[in-house]
Amino acid sequence: MKKMSMMLAVSLSAAVALSAPIQIHAAQQSTSKADNTQKNAEKGVTAEQQKENKTDREITREIRRSVVKDKALSIKAHNVKIITRDGHVTLKGPVKNSDEKKAVEKAAEEVVGKGKVTNEIEVAPAKTKKEKKEDKEKKEQTER
């Protein structure tokens, strides 16, 4: 009886150990795509350069609230980087379309005024059917 229990425990441990690297590998692949360090270096201002003074933090907060409050915008638009330095705002990141790009820029201009906003927002290319299918499969795998 003890031998059976021991064999069962070893078998289960081996099965878990062999399946774990596949999940880790999948997680590593998805995080490597999000690394845009090189792109940030090419473009200038990054989120790390956000000023910590009260005025700049408040400007960023007001713009973020306005953007997130607009439920017509996609999650991508809600997550645009808002970087404020000495009262000047830089907007970065992908959005779904040009209407979202304009809406985020307008929200920033309403807070700081025209001429104080640099819009570096990019319209993300539409996903192909193949990419949509791959995303759906990845989501289903993570839900299991």
pTM of the model: 0.60
Amino acid at 42: E
Q: 45-123 adopts what CATH topology?
A: Histidine-containing Protein; Chain: A; (3.30.1340)
What's the CA gap between 93 and 104, in Å, rounded? 11
Q: Where are the domains of the chain?
A: 45-123
Neighbours of 11 (CB within 10 A): 10
- Tens digits of residue pLDDT in 48-103: 666 678 999 999 999 999 999 999 999 999 999 999 999 999 999 999 999 999 99
Beta-carbon count within 10 A of 5 CB: 9
